[in-house]
Amino acid sequence: MIEYENLGELNKPFFEEYKISFEKTLNSGWYILGENVKRFEEEFSAYHQLKYCIGVASGLDALVLSLKALNYEKDSEVIVPSNTYIATILSILHCGLKPVLVEPELETYNIDPKKIEEKISAKTKAIMIVHLYGKPCDMRPILALKEKYHLALVEDCAQSHGAKYFGRLTGTFGEFGAFSFYPTKNLGALGDAGAVLTDDTALSKLINRLRNYGSDVKYYNEIVGYNSRLHEMQAGFLSIKLKHLDEINTHKRKLAKIYFDNLKEDFIKPVVEENVFDVFHIFNIRHSKRGELKNYLLKNEIKTEIHYPVPPHKQKAMAGIISEKDFPISEEIHATTLSLPISFYHTEDDIFKVVEVMNKF
Ligand SMILES: *Cc1c(COP(=O)(O)O)cnc(C)c1O
């Protein structure tokens, strides 16, 4: 059986270092906002050549706290892709703001910059983009709109650790880069974890307070805050894995190349763009008989996933919240996409086996 993902196998190369880190933290007796969190924050901001990284409890919280820090009036509008994981949209709702959905490009699956401007109103305050599947969005036109309309930019980098657009890392383009370290992500912890990147001193202080009960000094609360701190154990594990992030991404890109070079034309593969360094959090193909293909692969001992089966505007939770229903491109993607195995632990032989079976479909 070729599994889609196996987190035990994925993490095995790091077990020995993890055990040392675990024991060290255990013995330290300091389990909240200690040395590990501080070190990881320094390492992760240095990796991005930005001034600040603030560790938080999850990717969702990284998005929520970013929007909270920007402090918009209730019902202000935030532009967001219609084709994303629900968390991106939930973060906007949890801040009392209104998500305004913009269709993706059918080729890149990322927000279509050409369709943003028509959705900008007097109430629009920010654009929240998602570098979906590990592929950076087309930043040049997005940055031009940000400038033209004086909008904030929040990047959802939950799937794009280490991805680059014209040599520049995702998470470094806007006011905030919001990251998830959910275990399956390219930089994954052993539990929930997240971080916010920013180059702005005042905003970084706000996120620092927000994640820790609105407090800078224990028992003195400056603002209405949350409890959303990056866990000390997870930060220790993340420092270890961060050293291998580029190696993880290189491996995934090597596996992706096998799919690109060998999968037959029947499958619609992701586009390859010059100057876009895609880290393939997910390698998807599209096919009109997606369900049949998925079953066929399973019968041949190959597990796949669907990211995602239901678009946000059709989720039950969004009834009465997202009233617009005209998102044909999102629906097309959701109806035809299939994610193929591409974990750090998969071998080239695994992928050649997937290709061989797929090409007989
Ligand atoms: C995983 C993910 C999130 C949420 O991250 P959590 O750590 O699970 O809260 C947000 N946005 C996208 C695009 C994701 O893939």
156 ligand 1 Cβ < 6 A: yes
* pLDDT tens-digit readout, 106-122: 999 999 999 999 999 99
pLDDT at position 106: 97
133 ligand 1 Cβ < 6 A: no
> What DSSP designation does 172 have?
S
pTM score of the predicted model: 0.98
Q: Cβ neighbours of residue 256 under 8 Å, at least 6 residues apart? A: 278, 280, 283, 342
84 ligand 1 Cβ < 6 A: yes
3-state SS, one letter per residue, for 211-258: HECCEEECCEECCCCCECCCEHHHHHHHHHHHCCHHHHHHHHHHHHHH
Burial of 314: CB neighbours in 10 Å, binned 0-12, 13-18, 19+? middle
pLDDT at position 4: 98
Q: Residue 73 region, left (φ>0) first, then alpha (ψ -120 to 50), else beta?
A: beta
Q: Which amino acid is at 224?
A: V
56 ligand 1 Cβ < 6 A: no
187 ligand 1 Cβ < 6 A: no
Select from 3.40.50.1820, 3.40.640.10, 2.40.50.100, 3.30.1330.20 the CATH code of 7-102+110-242. 3.40.640.10
pLDDT at position 85: 96
Q: Cβ neighbours of residue 259 under 8 Å, at least 6 residues apart? A: 269, 283, 285, 340, 342, 351, 354, 355
Q: Which amino acid is at 138?
A: D
pLDDT at position 130: 98
37 ligand 1 Cβ < 6 A: no
Q: Are 83 and 90 in contact (CB under 8 A)?
A: no
- In terms of CATH, what superfamily is 245-358? Aspartate Aminotransferase, domain 1 (3.90.1150.10)
State the sign of the Cα–Cα–Cα–Cα dihedral 66, 278, 286, 293: negative
> Which residue, among 232, 345, 332, has the nearest Cα to 286 in the 3D structure?
332
Which is it for strands 77-81 and 98-102: parallel, antiparallel or unpaired? parallel
pLDDT at position 134: 98
pLDDT at position 328: 97
What residue segments make up the domains of the chain, in order of their start? 7-102+110-242, 245-358
* pLDDT tens-digit readout, 232-290: 999 999 999 999 999 999 999 999 999 999 999 999 999 999 999 999 999 999 999 99
pLDDT at position 26: 98
Q: Whose CA is nearest to atom 4 of ligand 1?
A: 59
Q: Cβ neighbours of residue 227 under 8 Å, at least 6 residues apart? A: 57, 211, 212, 213
pLDDT at position 6: 98
- Say which residue the tokens 């959905």 belong to: 101
pLDDT at position 180: 98
Give how far Cα 277 sits from Cα of 133, 137, 161, 169, Å: 12, 11, 11, 9
pLDDT at position 80: 98
Candidate from 56, 83, 156, 280 with most ligand 1 atoms within 8 A of CB, to mutate: 156
Share in percent of the chain as helix, strand, coil (round to 5):
40, 20, 40
Residues of the chain whose pLDDT is less than 70? none
